[in-house]
Amino acid sequence: VGEDKRRAGKVIAVDLDGTSEVVADGPPGLGWSIEWLPDGRLLVTGEGLMRREADGTMSQHADLSALSGDWNEIVVDGRGNIYVNGRCEFDPTPRGIIALVTPEGEVRQVAEQLAFPNGMVVTPDNSTLIVAESFAGKLTAFDIDADGSLSNRRVWADGIVPDGISLDAEGAVWAPTFTENAVVRIREGGQVLDTIELDRSPFACMLGGPDGRTLFILAAEWRGMEKVGEALAEQDRPHRHEDVHA
């Protein structure tokens, strides 16, 4: 399992014993994420979309500057289509977008007017993309068309404040709700199936481990936007993982 270490500008791999290792450099600042290409190379968002090569160097994977200069979460589907969201502003006006980068390198916008888009997942059959709209308090779903475009926008579940999400083998979504210090497992329609309560705010989660049934949770003390700088100046919290049925 990998995670972005936003304060230090590093990408960290963490195993089941809690041992961590720096595996790549990342951009400075807040709001960037990682994902894997089908060939195993690492993608990193930030001011652009970067790719880690086999020798450890970082290079631009695609030029997204015509759409936005700040990119947040990312997901790659089984066909190699890359979806990345951006324009994440701390403003109630829904300005967020999703961009598509095809395996051939074509770049285009495929969704707009998202209320601070965060985590995204794609169903195993490559038919549906689900994105967390944090400021709207919901998970939003799109159909994925044959050319990678997104259509049939709809509410997948609401009543939570989701961030970085993960999809399990039964089609439920694990969603951190940093306003409530909990991670919930929720199904389409909004029914909460499980809840993991924490002593701090969770911002992302990912299923991993040998059988994909261990939930890794990235959590930190949340003091509000006005104290982000103060929080980033402090040492990072220890990592924690939960064994779950997924």
Q: How does pLDDT run across 7-34, given as a tens digit for each residue?
A: 467 888 888 888 888 887 777 666 689 9
Q: What is the average pLDDT across 135-160?
A: 96
17 dihedral zone (left: phi>0; alpha: psi -120 to 50; beta): alpha
Instruction: Identify the CA nearest to 116 among candidates 104, 132, 127.
Output: 132
Q: What is the average pLDDT across 181-204?
A: 95
Other CB atoms within 10 A of residue 123 CB: 15
Contact 84, 71 (CB under 8 A): yes
Token readout for 229 is: 């700088």
Between strands 96-101 and 107-114, the pairing is: antiparallel
**Residue entry with tokens 């949340």:** 222
Lowest mean pLDDT across 81-95, 138-152, 190-204: 81-95
Question: Between the CA of residue 241 and those of 165, 202, 207, what are the distances in Å?
Answer: 15, 12, 9
- Whether the pLDDT of residue 205 is over 50: the answer is yes
Token readout for 93 is: 């006006």
Per-residue confidence (pLDDT) for residue 246, from 0 to 100: 46
Q: How far apart are CA 144 and CA 152, in angstroms?
A: 9
Which residues, 6 or more positions from 68, have their beta carbon under 8 angstroms from its beta carbon? 86, 87, 97, 99
- Whether the pLDDT of residue 150 is over 80: the answer is yes
Q: Is the pTM of this model over 0.85?
A: yes
Lowest mean pLDDT across 27-31, 78-82, 119-123: 27-31
Per-residue confidence (pLDDT) for residue 235, from 0 to 100: 46
Q: How far apart are CA 100 and CA 107, in angstroms?
A: 6
Q: How far apart are CA 109 and CA 212, in angstroms?
A: 32
- Whether the pLDDT of residue 225 is over 80: the answer is no
Of 58 and 102, the structure prediction assigns the larger pLDDT to 102
Reported as a pLDDT band with limits 50, 70 and 90, residue 77 is very high
Q: How many residues does the chain have?
A: 246
Q: Please tell me whether residue 225 adopts helix, strand or coil conformation.
A: helix
H/E segment holding residue 232? helix 228-232
Rounded mean pLDDT of the chain?
87
- Whether the pLDDT of residue 50 is over 90: the answer is yes
Q: How far apart are CA 122 and CA 104, in angstroms?
A: 20
Q: How far apart are CA 133 and CA 139, in angstroms?
A: 6
Contact 186, 168 (CB under 8 A): no
Q: Please tell me whether residue 226 adopts helix, strand or coil conformation.
A: helix
